[in-house]
Structure 1
Amino acid sequence: MASAERHSVFYAEFQARKKDILKDLEDPINLTRANEGTASLQKILVDAAGDLPAYDQRQYETQIKELQQKIESERNRSVPTTRFAFRKKAAVKSASQGSSTSPTKPATETATPEIASQSMSIASRTSSYIGWSSVSLESSALIVSDLDSCIVNLIEHRENTSLSKTPAINSVHVKNLTKTILLLPHIEGSAILDHLQDCIVVVACQQFRIHSSQNSTILLLTPSHPIIEYCSSLSFGSYPRLSSSSAELGPSKHAEVQDFGHLLQTPSPNWHLLSSSEEEVCHQRIERLLDTPPDNALLRIADILNT
């Protein structure tokens, strides 16, 4: 990869991560995630330091410092401050003045409203089939985490005919999946995946990034370069044309993967493109899976993942 192209790819990755951090800072409940994201951003800058011009590196370092300052500011703002003041002692009335006193009203406690999560969440499940009927539709952001031997089917909603169309999802964050099949519809924004092992992911999105994952297959449609980092044994193929709407999503760069964990000017050993025959087999099995009742589908999950 030419130096200018590597710089361009790094810039896109840096800005995408920075955007996610700034989004997290809009809600105090995500402060820890914003801090972790900034630490990760600093790490990829350190790793790429030898490949960046000195001026560009200083600019990136300045942006990271600004993020750290914002996080510290938000952290201080979220800690309530208590003001102390000395109170004058109430004058003690003498017995001759009478003892007519009115009962003191207890102080009214102000209830602190709970901060509600602004994301749909699918979490902590084992050997489960999860469709639209299991997901709250109150948000356009989706978080999927801590699944083992599950099927998440959000491409089709055949089990819930009350939905006139698939609900829109603006972004998806996926973390800690093992032996799971994740079927996602068109994501209007980014799909960010972390720590997947022995999984199949089907997704169409504007930006795709996957970190610290192994032995997984990604059937993808995206107009931008997919980015992988600290991954191994990943397979990439095209998004299956499962409905008329999927044909309208346009061209894809799923085959133009950029490996941020492999900075040498040689092909990355951490991913490969499925052959046309391998891709066709994957597509056919996903289509059959969508037509299979949930209980039977779970029985076949091992066979599908092992192919």
Structure 2
Amino acid sequence: MACEIAVEDVGQNFADLNEKRNLVTDRLQRRDEERLQDLQKKKEDKEKITSDTENTVFFNENFNAAKAKIEADLMRSDDITGKSELTDHFDALVVAVQSLQKFVSDSTLFLPKYEIRSSQDVVNRLTDAINEKRDEKIPKKKFAFKSKKKSEKIEKKGTQNGDAVDSTITSKVSVQANDCGFMDLSDQSLSLGENSINQKDVAIMRLTDCVVKLHGSPSAIHIDKLTNCKVFSGPVSASIFIDNCTNCTFVLPCQQLRIHSTTDTSFYIHVTSKAIIEDCSRVVFAPYNWNYNGIDEHYRVSGLDKSINNWDDVDDFNWLVTDQQSPNWGVIPVEERVENWET
């Protein structure tokens, strides 16, 4: 009997040893797998940092070269005398700055925020310098909005988005030297077609309780001081700049969107680079969803890629914490989005 007990004890000890050995083996294997995963992650992080650094170096070299050439060409303006030659000269400068703007917009996916902000400031200063020098060398009448009567009866409807306005409007509209738009109006429904806005700058300023519809492809849109307004646009080939707006809705596609000092506003956007906000609060975003006859042709004119939409990739220049969501902007919940807009 004692011998049988001893054999059983030995067998049990072997089983315990095997179990312990298996546990140790499993633990070592898991530790080895975790170590390999950690090494792989460090390798990927290093490769990403290297890639971003190389991209940033490439960007800075090319950006600075383009900036220096534009500045040198601008300095030559005083040596040109003929009006036709000056016009061609400044047109070339504008094209160069637009190309530089596109280069900045296309690079926002990998550039640090401070780099984006600094580069955009340079582009803005170059644009201002070109406009100032052009006005000096080729004086023109100051841009103004002229009164133009336009009767348009719009039936008031109980639509979901409430963008119908019942009014007979008298609009202050001007199309002058590639500029057009609306200003100093309230309680009106306003629109411009492709013949007025295609590849032109549009200015929309100081409106209250208005609905604005742009059926076409502007080159840029400048929006300032709107309250309780809705603005719809076809595809914009370059940038849209929005400043000092409150309680508005914007439905817009563009290459780059810059929003400043705006609150309590909704954006339905298609943006191929990024939306950038600064000094904003309670702004929310959703994908662009306005449709109208001719929009496909306007996309072709604008050159925007319909397959790329970074509508929810928003940079907040007032929020530099990279691992936390900015409290100044958010996404409109799907169930709260307007699905159909009147065209």
With the length of structure 1 as denominator, give the TM-score of the two structures: 0.56
Aligned twin of 1:254: 311
After the TM superposition, which residues 264-279 of structure 1 pair with which residues of structure 2 at under 5 Å, given as runs?
A: 264-265=321-322, 266-279=324-337
Q: Secondary structure at the match of 1:261?
A: coil
* Identity level (%): 20
**Could you say which residue in structure 2 is the equivalent of 1:114?**
141
What's the offset of the Cα at 1:7? 5.5
Deviation at 1:121, TM superposition (A): 2.7
1:196 to 228, 240, 245: 245
State the one-letter code of the partner of 2:182.
I
2:41 aligned with 1:14, yes or no?
Answer: no
What does the per-residue CA deviation read over 1:154-183, in whole Å, with 9 as the maximum and x for residues that have no partner? 14xxxxxxxxxx3x3111111100000000
Higher alpha-carbon Rg: 2
State the 1:137 CA deviation.
4.5
Shift of 1:249: 1.7
Is 1:239 the counterpart of 2:266? The answer is: no
Distance 1:241 1:133 in 2: 15
The residue that corresponds to 2:265 in the other structure is 216
* In structure 1, distance between residues paired with 2:123 and 2:193: 31
Contact 2:251 2:290 in 1 (8 A): no
Unaligned runs of 5+ in 1: 29-73, 80-111, 156-165, 291-307
Cα distance in structure 2, aligned partners of 1:123 and 1:24 = 22
Q: Which runs of 5+ in 2 are unaligned?
A: 1-47, 53-108, 144-176
Amino acid in the other structure paired with 1:122: F
**Aligned residue identity for 1:11:** E
In 1, are the aligned partners of 2:272 and 2:305 still within 8 Å (CA)? no
Q: Name the CA shift for 1:276/1:113 in 2 (closer, same or farther; >3 Å).
A: closer
Normalising by structure 2, what TM-score?
0.51
User: For residues 134 and 148 of structure 1, do their structure 2 counterparts lie closer, same or farther at Cα, with a shift above 3 Å needed?
Assistant: farther
Change (3 A) 1:129 1:8: same
- 1:8 Cα shift? 2.2
SS in 1 for 2:245: strand
1:280-291 map, 5 Å: 282-284=338-340, 286=341, 289-290=342-343
Cα 1:126–1:78 change in 2 (3 A) is same
Query: Matched residue of 1:219: which SS?
Result: strand
Q: Distance in 2 between matches of 1:137 and 1:236?
A: 25
Report SS of the residue matched to 2:127. helix
- In structure 1, what residue type is equivalent to 2:187? S
1:141 counterpart = 2:197 = no
Q: Cα gap change, 1:235/1:192 in structure 2, threshold over 3 Å: closer, same or farther?
A: same
Check 1:275–1:137 CA distance in 2 against 1; reply closer, same or farther (3 A cut): closer
**Residue type at the aligned position of 1:147:** L
In structure 1, distance between residues paired with 2:205 and 2:195: 13
Give matches, 1:290-301, under 5 Å. 290=343
